[in-house]
Amino acid sequence: MISKLLAETTKKHISKWLVLVIDSIIISFSFVLSYIIRFNLTLDFDVQQLFYQLPLVVLISCAAILIIGSHKGVIRHTGVKDVYNLFNATCLASIFTIFFVVLIKQYEFVEGFTIPLSIIIIHSLISFMGLTASRFLFKYLHHQYQSRNNLKITKNVLIYGASESGIIAHNVITNSPLNTARVIGYIDHDGRKVGKQINGVKIFGKEELTESFIHKNKISEVIFSIQKIGPNELRKEVQELVNLPIQVKIVPPVEDWINGELKPSQIKKVQIEDLLDRPPIDTKNNKIGEALKNQTILVTGGAGSIGSELVRQICLYDYTSLIIIDQAESALYDLQQELKQNGHHNYIALVADIRDKNRMSMLFQEYKPTMVFHAAAYKHVPLMEYNSYEAIKINIAGTKVIADLAIQNNVSKFVFVSTDKAVNPTNVMGATKRIAEMYISCLQQENKTKFIITRFGNVLGSNGSVIPLFKKQIEKGGPLTVTHKDITRYFMTIPEASQLVLEAGSMGNGGEIFIFDMGECVKIFDLAKNMIKLSGLSYPHDIDIEITGLRPGEKLYEELLANGENTMPTYHKKILISKTKCIDYNAARTKIEELCLTNMFFSGNTVRLMKEIVPEYVSKNSKFTQLDQEKKLDTPHLSDVKEKNLT
């Protein structure tokens, strides 16, 4: 019968009414046992009187259980809260029983009827222990039956953190119907906890977590479960675990738990993003809200990595309307469906090419945007090195189209998303972005639209970035390809970069180049090794790293400021204003317009002309390096050594 009942409960939960019936049986047995204990384990009492008392006691106890609701708990997941409910139910039953006995005795409803107070007290204690023990016994039998008949233990795990979060993680793992793990211990820094046990699971000190300990106990996973910890400390702790021959997983923050409860599926592998020290961001910001209120906002490149996140964050605010433009039909459709599912409706998604001036002009006239976020661009360095025509056409000419229309249609603010590759560019892509910056600076002189430039480095997980590439290479068994052992990059999360773009747009008065604090630069070779370790593999035994050599136009180190530039602080600690060199705006604008016109005729002189416009543009590892070796052109530089704050 028990086996059948256990088999049934692996598929569904026991009915609360069946639980009530079982509780009634336990209460009945406890009442009889209380008399036997009271009379020194003999039957030297009025047994006939017992049969009159038993129905009343059971009825009162059932009423107390129904009032407290202790029969509604899921038996297989019995915990402290359930035991607390059982205690309340037995206490309430005892109070009701005493009340009814006094009432009957006072008004003599039943002649000679009484229940000794000692019996009531003994019964309440025995029934509480019986009800509690039955639940934990059933819980134990259920898990034993389930583990024997369904899944076998395939791995041993440690939980890092013997706090409340760690205990919850242990319960979630052991109670999961798909559990294949055995928790053999906790790891904790607190010396007062070391050597003790929690629910029979021993707590070990951090110093005991060594390779020999791991091999001896056949540990394959460590689950990091500490909630109140800063990003720097988290990175340090997890970094130490990564160096061990184990897979590292992490319990998400409490606020990310589903309906306040941790699910087994939420305990996932530590991602490389967790080790890059990028703090979480606030999803809503009052200053951004004020800047976007009652605005008609246009986002170009709205289906891209940064553009789509800008759209998601803008949707959280009180704007008038949102126009999303992208030429990538599939990506734009996916974003549209996502916004619909999240309940956002005050937007319109348009498939359009920013290089099409007539189409863009019609859209500006129809929707009349008051604020533009220009994120559309070609950004892949090696690809653009061999496709300079397209890079100039979208990054310069496309930006020129949108910027010119912004002035013609009285747009109040124009926020341009640039890149650190525009600083002392060594490739076509970086040079096109720098020229776009210069053109926007030229338009700022007309004092009609407030043009604002934001400049930052790589974003984690963006299309074509190194981290998704490494993940695909690991899935295929390697090797991971790194262009140079010493190459470094700055990284920022997509949500953080997008929020800082919005923040810069809200604080900008026109003419500024906002530089984002990217934190510390990351060595790509170390990044590759960490990603291998986080995948539960070892370098170089399981997956090797191959040095392929710098790609065309690629730098070893990225920069956020050009030669002769420095920064000034803003009220936001993550945003600085670049104090840039003054340029000859008339000459620069003439040259840029010449470049766009020359590019239309597929002229081979476009890169040479770009080097005239941006004299600090020196190609590296590229076919265009020969242009730098030629005699300097007689055309005067468009940059002047005199520094001037554009703000």
pLDDT per residue as tens digits for the range 329-357: 999 999 999 999 988 888 999 999 999 99
Tell me, yes or no, whether 132 and 229 share the same domain: no
pLDDT per residue as tens digits for the range 361-382: 999 999 999 999 999 999 888 8
Q: Which of 421, 450, 529, 574 is catalytic?
A: 421
pLDDT of amino acid 351: 95
Instruction: Provide the β-strand partners of residue 517.
Output: none
**How would residue 238 be classed by pLDDT, with cut points 50, 70 and 90?**
confident
> In 3-state terms, what secondary structure has residue 482?
strand
Return the percentage of the chain with pLDDT > 90, whole number.
26
476 vs 8, more confident: 476
pLDDT of amino acid 493: 80
- Nearest 5°: phi and psi at 585? -60, -40
Last residue of a domain, one of 129, 149, 169: 149
> In 3-state terms, what secondary structure has residue 621?
coil
pLDDT per residue as tens digits for the range 131-145: 998 888 887 777 666
Last residue of a domain, one of 149, 165, 200: 149
pLDDT of amino acid 633: 46
Only one residue has tokens 């392929």, namely 548
* Mean pLDDT of the chain, nearest integer: 82
328 vs 180, more confident: 328
Tell me, yes or no, whether 437 and 586 share the same domain: yes
Q: Is the pLDDT confidence value at 577 over 80?
A: no
Q: Is the pLDDT confidence value at 436 over 90?
A: yes
Angstrom distance (rounded) from CA 170 to CA 223: 10
pLDDT of amino acid 196: 87
59 vs 77, more confident: 59
Q: Is the pLDDT confidence value at 260 over 60?
A: no
Instruction: Provide the β-strand partners of residue 516.
Output: 575
Per residue, the 3-state secondary structure of 197-230, as one string, reads: EECCEEEEEHHHCCHHHHHHHCEEEEEECCCCCC
Closest CA to 245 of 216, 272, 277: 216
pLDDT of amino acid 259: 57
Find the mean pLDDT for residues 154-175: 82
335 vs 522, more confident: 335
Q: Is the pLDDT confidence value at 584 over 90?
A: no
Tell whether 279 is covered by a domain: no
Tell me, yes or no, whether 206 and 347 share the same domain: no
Tell whether 170 is covered by a domain: yes
Instruction: Provide the β-strand partners of residue 204.
Output: 187
Residue type at 589?
Answer: R
Tell me, yes or no, whether 264 and 386 share the same domain: no
Tell me, yes or no, whether 24 and 57 share the same domain: yes
User: Please, are residues 537 and 474 in contact by the beta-carbon 8 Å criterion?
Assistant: yes
Tell whether 522 is covered by a domain: no
Q: Is the pLDDT confidence value at 642 over 50?
A: no
Strand 347-351 vs strand 321-326: parallel, antiparallel, or unpaired?
parallel
Tell whether 637 is covered by a domain: yes
Last residue of a domain, one of 241, 270, 299: 270
Tell me, yes or no, whether 145 and 230 share the same domain: no
Strand 522-523 vs strand 513-516: parallel, antiparallel, or unpaired?
unpaired
Tell me, yes or no, whether 134 and 164 share the same domain: no
Tell me, yes or no, whether 384 and 441 share the same domain: yes
271 vs 121, more confident: 121
CA atoms within 13 A on the CB side of 646: 32
User: Please, are residues 420 and 558 in contact by the beta-carbon 8 Å criterion?
Assistant: yes
The domain in which residue 29 lies consists of 2-149
Number of domains composing the chain:
3
> In 3-state terms, what secondary structure has residue 99?
helix
512 vs 140, more confident: 512
Q: Is the pLDDT confidence value at 5 over 60?
A: no
**Segment among 345-349, 402-406, 526-530 with least mean pLDDT:** 526-530
**Segment among 155-169, 233-247, 496-510, 526-540 with least mean pLDDT:** 233-247
Tell whether 632 is covered by a domain: yes
pLDDT of amino acid 496: 83
Quick check: is 421 catalytic? yes
Tell whether 483 is covered by a domain: no
Tell me, yes or no, whether 209 and 145 share the same domain: no
Tell me, yes or no, whether 295 and 251 share the same domain: no
**How would residue 72 be classed by pLDDT, with cut points 50, 70 and 90?**
confident
Tell whether 422 is covered by a domain: yes
Angstrom distance (rounded) from CA 315 to CA 286: 14
Q: Which helix (H) or strand (E) holds 347?
A: strand 347-351
pLDDT of amino acid 640: 43
- Nearest 5°: phi and psi at 463? -60, 125
Find the mean pLDDT for residues 10-23: 76
Task: Provide long-range contacts, Cβ within 8 A and 24+ apart, for 238-241.
Answer: 238/270, 238/274, 238/275, 239/275, 239/530, 241/160, 241/209
Tell me, yes or no, whether 323 and 202 share the same domain: no
Residue 123 is encoded by which pair of tokens? 């019964």
pLDDT per residue as tens digits for the range 177-230: 666 778 888 988 888 888 888 877 889 988 888 888 888 888 888 888 877 766
Tell whether 527 is covered by a domain: no
Q: Is the pLDDT confidence value at 101 over 90?
A: no
What CATH number should be reported for the domain holding residue 335?
3.40.50.720
**pTM given for the model:** 0.67
User: Please, are residues 454 and 518 in contact by the beta-carbon 8 Å criterion?
Assistant: no
Find the mean pLDDT for residues 542-547: 90
Tell me, yes or no, whether 317 and 261 share the same domain: no
